[in-house]
Amino acid sequence: MSRAPRALRLTGLLASTVLLTATAAACGSDSDSAADSDTKASQDSAAGAFPVTLAHKFGSTTVKSEPRRIVTVGLTDQDAVLALGKVPVGTTEWLGGYKGAIGPWARKDLGGAKAPTVLKDSGTGPQVERIAALKPDLILAVYGGLTKAQYESLSKFAPVVAQPKEFNDYGVPWQQQTEEIGKALGKSAEAKKLVAGVEDKFAAAKKEHPEFAGATGVVATPYEGTFVFGSQDPRSRLLSDLGFELPKDLDKVIGDEFGANISKERLDLLDQDAALWIAPDTTSSVKKLHADKIYGDLDVAKQGREVFVKETSDYGNAVSLSTVLSIPYVLDRLVPQLAAAVDGKPATKVENPAS
């Protein structure tokens, strides 16, 4: 997956509790003592979660004890790690432009910790030697596409949790990604709570916009023609989680991939109630698409049922990541755009968010 379609590649340091505990003991207040008890209970709970065994594409991996030096090879796994209160020592760059590969929607979860070392994967696989130098005790590749050889190479240094076998590479849903990482970190209950919180946001959006239920939608990008994302891609799941239905024969056309380029003869796949375009920009890209006679003649284009998101913006990056931390950021922007696209009034302009 190269950066180009934002999915063709799409593309640890812990805050010490010792000082906090010592300070609380010195103060000796009842409330602080209660907080210490809660912290200890949480730590004891995490310790009791190990060993834990996680199944994946290449078999299973056992994490014997609570990991403290985590490296994320999965291109979006860092968000779930941060949301669960840990900071990776290494992350893998996909989108670029963010210190530590931490987007603005996740920065508060970094707190005052040192930003992770950023690793790169130019398409030849993880940087094994650099990963080994970080001395990890856990390597996460849940949202990833490791080969068996890469998995075996990384497993020489630390337990590796690879992508789930029941989904395409780079196709794990954000819910399962969060919960799998939660298990690996000994924080299953916390992970389920995080997932429930984001699912509540989807439920609220669907309640506010009943018109989304049963409406059809598709996600595409103008990469080397027209690249359409399949049902297992996280971007498409944004629409389906909001109640939209994807084209019935989408996966038949895409095949066993997260997405694929389609021919001009299949541009009919784009003629839905809403088309979400992840584009290089929201001006010239629109003009170029509409200049194509086949696409420009589709009702989705003529009736203004399109949503354009600049792929290199924070918003575009958050859409591409589609994680437990980035999705709330996305919904605040995407839901009003989709509502405008499917209101049945061609005159309604789909406004771009201010930021």
What is the total residue count of the chain?
355
Sort strands 52-56 and 306-310 into parallel, antiparallel or unpaired. unpaired
SS3 192: helix
DSSP H or E stretch at residue 79 = helix 77-83
Residue 2 has a pLDDT of: 39
Q: Are the CB atoms for 298 and 267 separated by under 8 Å?
A: yes
Best CA proximity match to 279, nearest among 341, 353, 220: 220
Residue 97 has a pLDDT of: 86
Residue 95 has a pLDDT of: 86
Give me 218's structure tokens.
Answer: 């598709």
Q: Are the CB atoms for 57 and 164 separated by under 8 Å?
A: yes
DSSP letter at 245 equals B
Query: What's the average pLDDT block by block, 10 residues per block, for the chain (355 residues)?
Result: 43 30 34 40 61 97 98 97 98 92 96 95 89 98 96 97 94 96 98 98 98 97 93 94 95 88 94 97 94 96 96 95 97 98 95 86
Give me 301's structure tokens.
Answer: 């284009």
Rounded to the nearest 10 degrees, the angle between the axes of helix 326-341 and helix 314-321 is 100
Contacts of residue 94, Cβ cutoff 8 Å, sequence gap at least 6: 3, 9, 10, 11, 75, 76, 101
SS3 235: helix
Rounded distance between C-alpha atoms, residue 87 and residue 176, angstroms? 20
Q: Are the CB atoms for 319 and 330 separated by under 8 Å?
A: yes
Residue 354 has a pLDDT of: 79
Prediction pTM value: 0.84
Residue 46 has a pLDDT of: 62
